[in-house]
Structure 1
Amino acid sequence: MKTLTSLCAAAGALLLPAFATQAQGVGVASIGAVGGLHIPSAYVLGAGDAALSLGDDHDPQLGTYNQHRNYTLGFGLGGGVELFGRLNHTQNMKPGETKYVGGDISGNLKWQLPIEAAGLPKLAVGFTDQGGEAAVYFRSLYAVASDELGPLRWSLGYGQSEKSVVGKARVLDGVFGGAELRLWDTRATLLAETDGTRRHAGVRYYSPVLPWLGDSQVVGSVQRSFGGTDLAGKSADATSFNLSLIVPLQTDDATREQRSRSAAQAHPPLPALAASGNTPAPTRTERLATLHTTLRAAGLERVRVGTLGDNLVVEYENQRYLHNEVDALGIVLGLAAEHAPANSRRLHVITRKTGLVVSEASVSVPSYRAWLRDAAESSAVQATLGFGPLPGYDADAVQWERGSQQATHRVRVALSPLLNYTVGTEIGLFDYSVALQARTSVPLWTGAEAYADVVQRIDNSVLMEPGAAFANLRHRNGLQTLALQQSFWLGQHALASVGAGLYQYNTVGLEAEATMLVPGRNEDSVHLRARAVHLTDSSEVPGTFDASSASYRWRMSPSTWLEGGLHSYTDGSKGPALALTRWFGDVALQLFAREGGGNRFVGLELSLPLTPRQGMGAQAIQLSGNPRFALPFRTLLTSDTDKANAQRPNAVRPVDLSYKSEVELLNSGRMTPDYLGTQLPRLRESFYLYGRGLMPIH
């Protein structure tokens, strides 16, 4: 270690005048981890970063194939932890042949140790291909150290590998290490390394951050392996590539502030609130009328404005800003603070969904006004920000000046993709059925709406055709759901939602969901879900039978939840489930484990909004996308008695409600004081992006 450090230091000192600093970003190794060409490093993906990679590096000890691909998907979970999934696909194809032969799915985890000391490199431990027994091709445990010396980035580690089922392939076996050298200011690097069994050399390019691609970065590399042999002992050196897309799933506070400043520069400065020259200050009535008009222009509905003593009270409903209710709240708070009548002391904002009150927030008007002009005043705003009803608040006592509690839109149409798929099965690399669902909903009375789901299949793979292996996963065309949903509060801490109607095309049934805030711990909650839609047609998609669940959600932080409970699954089995959810902005990553009927599944679910951040404003017919699209992936956890990681699409499926009240009414579970209190940068950003331009110029 000391010898390598000394050599790297000497090389860095000699090359520093000729080379610039290390290229920004990290690369993804073909093994499925942040690192070099093939080996992992002690660096990890940043919290909230996702990495998608495609490459064709192949270990010759696994055999000779004319087709080989590596597909990896990784996430930075925060706390120095990164998780990668890898699909290795290998087969020999004859001209015109399409039959799938083989592949391997593996999971990789790395933890960067939280040790920071001057002169000490980054340290990490990790494993590859854990959890399976039937096809262990890439299993190893390792420890690695990495550091940067001027333009040089180096890594040195030790791995212990298991023999695979073929008996010879070994990954990260023994000492491994490598170096990466920046080539001037070209954003390219040279790499050389050994993984303990083969040597690799190549070149890598890091693109600049691409704003048009969500601030993503593309990283590509070409490499040559040396010293590899095939199963017959012959030399098997090869050239391969790897292409990665690094995607940030969340927007940091500094970027939000920059957006606020850029949006502010596009408009005149915020007007003074006092009278100027011979122009008298607007009266209370004029201010409230202007506020009501401006909020309606922002696309909000059920808008009411009034006063209660020296408090300004605003009610609204948002069906336009569907990424996050914080965007709508930021617009309302900003516009209301600017248009508040003279001498207003406090602003109280009431958020409604289908006419139900789902959140109440209040803040000091003078503090909020000052903060809109100077972001440095955030501590003063934070000190005055409150959640829940105003003390002694009575809606009937408010002097309502303008507005109505009636919904503006009459029909809302939400479009959402539907995807059923399998990956890396015994008979197919990737099989799919994709469809489009159009949900048409109509508001009725407080807490009630009628909705209908119509499905149109778009495409599917051959193995999902009728009579094929995965025919039961093929989407069906037609009217999928026609139901009436009623939501209501049971006291102050429990929100219930009950639905009745036609579900899964041809069956009358019931759905129910209840979310109960735990007294004394308003951040924690109990969740009850049930569905009575019993089907006897085995050709239906999985997840449509009677099912229920009861769980407790512990909010470890505003962005991290741990939820555990008991389930009655759709296949009739029963058992426990545990899920860890981590929010990165409006994207949620959930890791879960479920057991039922002797089957154990582990997996992850990525959920994200598939709709514009600012959609259509309130009008008679309103078109939107899906505010919460979930994409799950799971795999059967093998054991000594069950070594085959086979597809069991109908097994251990939790209750899946057609109407998810937590998504529709509670901002996907993010309406709690602990979460809203952390969103000051976003509140300010949304005001300047979507609200500031609506204010009249005085």
Structure 2
Amino acid sequence: MTYYKKTLATLCAIGASSSAFAANDLNHGIAFNGFTGIFHTPTAAVMNKGDVDIGYSNQLEIRDKYTDGHNFTFSAGLFDGLEVSGRITSSSMHDNLYSYENDGQIRDLSFNAKYQIPFIPKDWFTIALGAKDIGGAANNYEAYYAVVSKELWDFRFSAGMGSSDAQIGQLNGAFAGVEYQPFTWLSILAEHDSEAFNLGAKVTIPKEWLYDIATVSINSRFYSNTELADEDTYWGINISMPLSDQAQSSYTEPKAAPTPDNTQTASVAKKDRKPQFEVSTLANSNSMQTVSKPKKVEQSNQVNNQSIHGLKSALSNDGFENLRVGLSDSDLIIVEFENSVFNRNEIDALGLVLGRITENFPEGNNDFIVRLSKLDIPILQVSGQLENYRRFISENITPDLLVKTQFTSQDTKSIKWAGNTTKTSPYFVPRVTFSPSLSSRHATEFGVLDYSLALQADLNIPIWQGAGINVTGQVNVANTSHFEERRIFSNSRQETGIKRAVAYQTFSLPFNIYNQTQVGLFQDYFDYMGITNETAWQSPAGAHKLKAKIGYFEYKDYNTDKRDYSLLSYRYLWAEKDVSFHITGGQFWNEDTGYKLETKFWFGDANLRLMYIDTDVQKVGIGFSIPLSPRKDMSAGNWQVKGAKNWGHSVNTVINQDVNLINRTSAVTPTSSIDLDKTFFNQDRMSSSYIYSHLARLKEAFEIYR
């Protein structure tokens, strides 16, 4: 053992002291514990932002030995340098741990986190700090560590110090590891985990070989000098992929607009430019520089009329509703529309509409206004100039756009509206959304995973401005045995029937305030008749949002059981990084009072979120939300069928208690498929700051769907 320690220490010292050679692109693997590493030891590498990894391995650490068992891991790169992971460890899949014959088995849910220190040049070395099995009641694998890694030629050398009270001795002291990658698909792995020396290999199948869907890796520890293992050989398999292809990192950012060569040209352009199109302070803060406005090219009325009718016809064929396209006496182009086809993200609809304008007006430098509404409630306005936006489409130069969420229709007087196609109304069109409805339990004494699954259908019928009827029903599809009737989790079973039936009314008020009231039947939590109200204010740029939610409910068969909730929340959106921070406090559905902290990390139209809850208990958790529909759904004619634009699930655990009891009642409120964020605020991304931070997606949406 001393020989192995000296060998590893020598190799790590050579790697850390050398900076004369550029590091190669080395694959990073996921250790059996769920963090990026070798087998038991971490490296200073972290997962790329937006990547997720699902893994399984058969090595079980139970008290003071290694044995055959089950490890399930889920890992994700949340932010530049930040990686989190969850791990389920179990001796068996379905054994009841309360049974006498299963005494001595283990089943555990734990969370890990690792952060790579920034600002260190990559060709020097990388340093990371991490924790294993944080929080929770029974911290069977708790450890804290610091690790430094250096890539040199086809090697990655790592060394670090850890602290752990686990009986098995992992990461309790100095540790080190070496990864040698002679081929892109093969890595030789060696480590000393503070207790023993381990040797093995990893085979990687790159995603280019798997239709660019995912990367698959298989690793095996085939030698160890530990005296604590039942076997020398253990293996694992991991599947890694980006959470979304529409993440910011997938796009080429627009180039900055060139600065005019002389101040005279700039001053003339500024004078000629109409006041409503001046760039706001927010636009300037996003490095959007103004291009001098060329002299406007006059077009004949006949050409303009042809263009405006062609534009409306094209947008109608794209499936947009409540469509109006017009031209003012000053050749201002105006488009008003509602989007029911790009349901994952309204920015795709805006990108296609803006691109269609340049397509149908190939010449001239008209000003334009594009207005997006939802059920005749104004949501967003984008203003700009044709020549400037054409350069964005053709040369990828940052466009000069003014995006507002507060605007009036006063400047649309004297508009000649195109009328050659029928205006498609959004009202009295049944819209059905299908999605799973899932109730689950993870790593309990009754099994690794228990679930109750239903197919949910959500029917929404808009009836007038801001109002509609929403009915949600479901059919039970499958259950594990513990969710069957009169079993331990039967109270949380997904039953067949109507879950909710509500009528809603939404208003747009002055000062960027929106209000929505819902009244009807809420059967998510037994049979209640109720009324809810949600009021939200958003700052002009969208960075800040305040929201108040209240609800009152009575049991529909008798009035002895009455419920109410009242919550206040604040959200800060860091649009440039696609991260939002939320805090919600007050009284929740089950009369528990306290607060909930949440951070959402967006990757395109999917997100991962971290949660901390402090009401009657303290909990931490991780969740995700993914779209279950294509970027563009079917157009609505007399009806529309689509998948859910965001379906989510989460896992949490109680912390700071001696016993980790299941808690599903803290910090919950009845939900509806219709609310301000989902229906009107683009999943809380309807703001000028979000548009300015995702300009590349405007262009890409037009290029794909033109």
The 5-angstrom pairing of residues 85-484 of structure 1 reads 85-91=86-92, 101-117=105-121, 120-133=124-137, 135-163=138-166, 168-184=167-183, 187-210=185-208, 215-230=213-228, 236-250=230-244, 251=246, 255-256=250-251, 283-308=303-328, 309-340=330-361, 343-375=364-396, 377-378=397-398, 381=399, 383-388=400-405, 393-402=410-419, 404=423, 406-407=425-426, 410-484=429-503
Equivalent position amino acid for 1:584 in 2:
F
Q: Give the whole-Å Cα distance in 1 for the aligned partners of 2:481 and 2:440.
A: 12
| Closer/same/farther in 2, CA of residues 576 and 26 from structure 1, 3 Å limit | same
Q: Give the whole-Å Cα distance in 1 for the aligned partners of 2:605 and 2:676.
A: 18
Partner of 1:265: none
- Preserved CA contact (<8 Å) 1:550 1:566: yes
Query: CA-to-partner distance for each residue in 1:157-213, whole Å, 9 max, x for gaps?
Result: 1111113xxxx223211111111111235x111111111112221111222225976
Segment drifting more, 81-90 vs 100-109: 100-109
Q: Give the whole-Å Cα distance in 2 for the aligned partners of 1:91 and 1:431.
A: 14
2:550 equivalent to 1:530? yes
Question: 696, 701, 704: which is aligned to 1:681?
Answer: 696
RMSD across aligned positions (CA): 3.2
Q: Give the whole-Å Cα distance in 1 for the aligned partners of 2:639 and 2:409.
A: 38
What is the CA-CA distance between 1:555 and the residue it aligns to? 2.3
What is the CA-CA distance between 1:57 and the residue it aligns to? 1.8
- Preserved CA contact (<8 Å) 1:60 1:236: no
Query: CA-to-partner distance for each residue in 1:20-67, whole Å, 9 max, x for gaps?
Result: 9856532101112111122110000111111111111223654575x5
What is the CA-CA distance between 1:645 and the residue it aligns to? 0.5
Q: Give the whole-Å Cα distance in 2 for the aligned partners of 1:390 and 1:486.
A: 21
Q: Give the whole-Å Cα distance in 1 for the aligned partners of 2:153 and 2:66.
A: 41
* DSSP 3-state at the match of 2:52: strand
- Preserved CA contact (<8 Å) 2:19 2:123: no
Partner of 1:271: none
- Preserved CA contact (<8 Å) 1:175 1:196: yes
- Preserved CA contact (<8 Å) 1:337 1:347: no
* DSSP 3-state at the match of 1:667: coil
- Preserved CA contact (<8 Å) 1:311 1:344: no
Partner of 1:75: 76
What is the CA-CA distance between 1:409 and the residue it aligns to? 7.0
Query: CA-to-partner distance for each residue in 1:73-123, whole Å, 9 max, x for gaps?
Result: 1121213111111111114999xx998953111111111111324763101
2:28 equivalent to 1:26? yes
| Closer/same/farther in 2, CA of residues 410 and 48 from structure 1, 3 Å limit | same
Partner of 2:11: 4
The 5-angstrom pairing of residues 511-550 of structure 1 reads 511-518=532-539, 522-535=542-555, 546-550=564-568
Gaps of 5+ in 2: 1-7, 254-295
Q: Give the whole-Å Cα distance in 1 for the aligned partners of 2:448 and 2:46.
A: 28
Q: Kindly, what percent of the aligned residue pairs are identical?
A: 25
- Preserved CA contact (<8 Å) 1:549 1:654: no
Q: Give the whole-Å Cα distance in 1 for the aligned partners of 2:93 and 2:584.
A: 45
What is the CA-CA distance between 1:214 and the residue it aligns to? 6.1
Query: CA-to-partner distance for each residue in 1:209-255, whole Å, 9 max, x for gaps?
Result: 2597664322221112412234xxxx634211111122212445574
Question: 626, 641, 646: which is aligned to 1:623?
Answer: 641
* DSSP 3-state at the match of 1:303: strand
Partner of 1:84: 85
Query: CA-to-partner distance for each residue in 1:459-480, whole Å, 9 max, x for gaps?
Result: 1111111111111110111122
- Preserved CA contact (<8 Å) 1:453 1:479: yes
Gaps of 5+ in 1: 259-273, 539-543, 692-698
Partner of 2:603: 584
Q: Give the whole-Å Cα distance in 1 for the aligned partners of 2:387 and 2:456.
A: 46
Q: Give the whole-Å Cα distance in 2 for the aligned partners of 1:304 and 1:690.
A: 20
| Closer/same/farther in 2, CA of residues 575 and 534 from structure 1, 3 Å limit | farther
- Preserved CA contact (<8 Å) 2:618 2:654: yes
| Closer/same/farther in 2, CA of residues 305 and 468 from structure 1, 3 Å limit | same
- Preserved CA contact (<8 Å) 1:56 1:70: yes
Query: CA-to-partner distance for each residue in 1:435-486, whole Å, 9 max, x for gaps?
Result: 0111111121111111211110101111111111111110111122222111
* DSSP 3-state at the match of 2:60: coil
Question: 651, 672, 675: which is aligned to 1:660?
Answer: 675
Equivalent position amino acid for 2:637 in 1:
Q
- Preserved CA contact (<8 Å) 2:364 2:386: no
* DSSP 3-state at the match of 2:183: coil
Number of aligned residue pairs: give it: 642
- Preserved CA contact (<8 Å) 2:133 2:143: yes
| Closer/same/farther in 2, CA of residues 253 and 580 from structure 1, 3 Å limit | closer
Q: Give the whole-Å Cα distance in 1 for the aligned partners of 2:10 and 2:688.
A: 54
